[in-house]
Amino acid sequence: PPGPPPPPPPRGGREDVLTAATALFRERGYDATSMSDIAARLGFTKAALYRHVTGKAELLRAITGPVRADVRALLAASAAGTGRPVDELTGLLRGLAGAAAVGPGRYALFWGPDGEPGPPAPDAVCRDEVVRRLADLYERAVAQGDVRGGIAPRLAARLLVGAIVGAAVEPGGPGDGAGPPPSPSAVDVLLDGPVRFLTGGRA
């Protein structure tokens, strides 16, 4: 005779699981969050949660994977640009800020210390590509006299991306999910301080 029917799927779908995991990873950190914590946040049993995902590593990959795709698209568009380096620098930073403000939880995890676990750590590779691109644009802008020098290019790149993305994902900031995503003018405000500081007010 046929066996008993399979148990019904848990309440909520995969996106609900990703939303809960994103919130808990941000609140407690990846290492300090257990699958039991995520199941409890959702009102699931652990067994029900495992019908959606195989574990925390899969969850983090699913959370940050779309961010990586967004960032790679921004990098591709930047590489195809033919404008002045200072304009390309500002454009890439503006793109990163706008994308982070729309998806702050995912971006905070992508740029944070956890990142995607295990080799080859695609998140870390992608983050380094952003830093290298920004450092190259910064160095070229300095050479053209559009940006003040005196800061090592990679350090300048890290400071810029930290300020721009950090402002977008900061709890209570324009992209924390408490309200609508920031307008383009609000994103410009995020860029205003770092870029004007580096360009002496000309950008």
CB 80 within 8 A of CB 132: no
- 118 exposure class (CB count in 10 Å sphere: 0-12, 13-18, 19+): exposed
Q: Mind listing the pLDDT tens digit for each residue in 92-147? A: 998 998 888 888 888 888 987 655 555 558 888 999 999 999 999 999 998 988 88
Q: Mind listing the pLDDT tens digit for each residue in 136-190? A: 999 999 898 888 888 899 998 998 888 888 777 775 544 444 444 455 555 566 5
Gap between the Cα atoms of 71 and 22, Å rounded: 18
Q: The domain 64-199: what is its CATH number? A: 1.10.357.10
Fold of 1-53: Arc Repressor Mutant, subunit A (1.10.10)
What is the pTM for the complete model shown?
0.77
Q: Where are the domains of the chain?
A: 1-53, 64-199
3: left (phi over 0), alpha (psi -120 to 50) or beta: beta
Q: Which helix (H) or strand (E) holds 19?
A: helix 14-28
